[in-house]
Amino acid sequence: MNKIFNCDIMEGFKQLDSQSVDCVITSPPYWQLRNYGFDGQWGLEPTFEEYLENLWKMMDEINRVLKDTGTVWINLGDTYSTKSGGFAQEASKRTPSMTQKYLDHIGTIQQPSNLPTKSLLLIPHRFAIGCFDRGWTIRNDIIWAKTSAMPESVLDRFSKKHEYIFFMTKKPKGYYFDLDSVREEHMQSTLKREMRGRNTGKYTGGAGGQSEQGLIKEREHKGYENMKDIYESGETTLNPKGKNPGDVADFWKIGTAMSKTEHVASYNPALIDKPILAGCPRGGVVLDPFSGTGTTLVRASQLGRQYIGFEASEQFFKITEESVNQEEERKSQPTIEDFI
């Protein structure tokens, strides 16, 4: 099933059957942020309304190709209105060494002049509301808190260090979601508290000649090994498989990744592990309709999923081809298990 298409997004969708995809993970070009250097690219529409119309056209196609059990994860960042043009242009003037790569790409981005200057355009929010109006179930608006985002030398507002990942489904129930696959270990302090039995008040201590303090210490240090028993005895409500991921579950602290290629907007593979693991069954098909350098596709393959990608830029498509071929090659190599 693994397929990559060097074509426009809407041409790509024509290649796919209805209800053939388990999971869509993508990062569309953000509005007026950069010029990828080819005609027909999305993101450079003269108005953000036209840009949003295109994204909703994409969502309609996703609705068609996605199985009813499928999940969708759309990563979107916002744009500030400026008099001079897009955010990248503004940023590149301020920190030229950081953004030289961007300068080659942004070209002559020009925003319409009727927008309130210096305002966030709230494009992710508008996009999500439009999806809601089209019948999508918005399950989460996850915050991607970018721990290593590009510096901004602004003095009249805070730096903008987050983007959104909208997790959407076609139906409110019955979609694939495997929370257990992405649970994280409970914090030591939480475990210790539970081991002491404080949450339920059921533990009274003082058995077998040990002092209550002694028993408490012993129980604290047993940690996970002891969790199952305590869970089964009803002394804790903590899940022995771990907690819902993230410091707060829908707040993901993940750094941006330096691109190893010419692509200026490839995302950190760590960002898409949770969507792939929780949102697509093993062996299922992940689609990235703006596959760029193929980050989603390679990661999907590494995690035992199939993949489909569309990318209109010939340059980035070649990088995708190389990356997925390398991954296929790696997978075909014998592993230590083959010799045991």
Strands 251-253 and 3-5: unpaired
Site string for ligand SAM, 248-267 (x = CB under 6 A): ---------------x-xxx
Helix then strand count (H, E) for the chain reads 10, 8
Out of 131, 286, 298, 312, name the contact with ligand SAM by CB under 6 A.
312
- Identify whether the C-beta of residue 290 lies closer than 8 Å to the C-beta of residue 9: yes
The piece of 81-89, 197-205, 224-232, 307-315 that touches ligand SAM (CB under 6 A) is 307-315
Tokens of 306: 């199939």
At closest approach, how far in Å is the CB of 145 from ligand SAM?
Answer: 18
**For ligand SAM, which stretch binds (CB under 6 A), given 78-86, 111-119, 245-253, 292-300?**
292-300
C-beta closer to ligand SAM: residue 10 or 179: 10
- Closer to ligand SAM by CB, 73 or 80: give it: 73
Minimum distance, C-beta of residue 266 to ligand SAM, in the bound complex (Å): 3
Q: Which of 215, 313, 323, 327 binds ligand SAM (CB under 6 A)?
A: 313
The Cα-based distances of 167 to 21, 24, 93 in angstroms read 16, 10, 34
**Residue 323, interface with ligand SAM (CB under 6 A)?**
no
Task: Give yes or no for a contact between 137 and 168, defined as CB atoms under 8 angstroms apart.
Answer: yes
291, 75 contact by CB (below 8 A): no
311 binds ligand SAM (CB under 6 A): yes
Instruction: Give Cβ neighbours of residue 230 (< 8 Å, ≥ 6 apart).
Output: 194, 195, 197, 236
| Stretch in the footprint of ligand SAM (CB under 6 A) among 35-43, 123-131, 138-146, 154-162 | 35-43
Angle at 126 between CA 65 and CA 148, to 5 degrees: 90
Q: List the x/- string, 271-290, binding to ligand SAM by CB under 6 A.
A: -------------------x
By beta-carbon proximity to ligand SAM, the closer residue of 235 and 311 is 311
Termini Cα distance of the chain = 30
Nearest CB to ligand SAM, comparing residues 32 and 295? 295
Decide if 326 contacts 319 (C-beta within 8 A): no
Among 4, 6, 9, 127, binds ligand SAM (CB under 6 A): 9
* Shortest distance in whole angstroms from residue 11 CB to ligand SAM: 8
List C-alpha distances in Å: 62 to 11, 44, 161: 13, 22, 28
Establish if 40 lies at the interface with ligand SAM (CB under 6 A). Answer: yes
Measured from each CB, the residue nearest to ligand SAM is 292
The least CB distance from residue 200 to ligand SAM, in Å, is 45
Residue 293 is a binding residue for ligand SAM (CB under 6 A): yes
- The alpha carbon of residue 29 and the mean position of all alpha carbons in its chain are separated, in whole angstroms, by 14
Cα distances (Å, whole numbers) of residue 287 to 4, 19, 119: 10, 12, 33
SS3 229: helix
The CA distance from 267 to 149, in Å, is 12
Q: How far is the CB of 61 from ligand SAM (least distance, A)?
A: 12
If one asks whether residue 36 binds ligand SAM (CB under 6 A), the answer comes out as: yes
Give residues in contact with ligand SAM (CB under 6 A).
8-9, 27, 29, 36, 40-42, 263, 265-267, 290, 292-293, 295, 310-313, 316
